[in-house]
Amino acid sequence: MPATPHEIFELLANPAMHPVIDGSGSVKAAKDAAPKRLSLNATFGMSMKKGAPYKITNTVVEFVEDKQIGWRHFGGHIWRYILESTQGGTMVTEQFSYGTSKSPLMIELAGYVRKNELDIRKTLDNLARYFADKK
């Protein structure tokens, strides 16, 4: 990505910015009570829409400043971003970790693993475009 780990981390730690980069199209807005900046154990609600609108509350379970952030909701799976400084930018790895899910078999059978891979690619494209446009 054409940005520093700090710049990318600041965007990821701001729930209000999640709809800007979301590749799934399901993240609509941070709820009003969401913190402006996430921290370890912070909770934040998001307005979502996949078919029908719904709201979900996430908890930050991984937080290493400028390096890694991850959150999960009641389903137990984790969305994680790992940032590594490179010459001229940052390598961003987004992971959907469903090994901690309460129903990993259902996630596989419903096709979420394959679908999430496509959505992750779109999210990373959106993230790169966001920072390229800022340069």
The residues spanned by each domain of the chain are 5-134
**CA atoms of 12 and 18, how far apart (whole Å):** 7
Antiparallel, parallel or unpaired: β 52-64 and 89-97: unpaired
What is the reported pTM? 0.91
Residue 107 scores a pLDDT above 80: no
Which amino acid, one-letter code, is at 3?
A
| CB atoms near residue 43 (< 10 Å) | 14
Q: Encode pLDDT of 69-95 as tens digits.
A: 999 998 888 999 999 999 989 999 999
pLDDT band at 133, cuts 50/70/90? Answer: confident
**CA atoms of 16 and 45, how far apart (whole Å):** 10
Q: Can you spell out the DSSP letters for 4-51? A: -HHHHHHHHT-GGGHHHH-SSS-EEEE-TTS-SS--TT-EEEEEEEES
Domain 5-134: which CATH number of 3.30.530.20, 2.60.40.3950, 3.40.640.10, 3.40.50.300:
3.30.530.20
**Total residue count of the chain as it appears in this document:** 135
- Residue scoring higher pLDDT (32 or 64): 64
Contact (Cβ atoms closer than 8 angstroms) between residue 101 and residue 76: yes
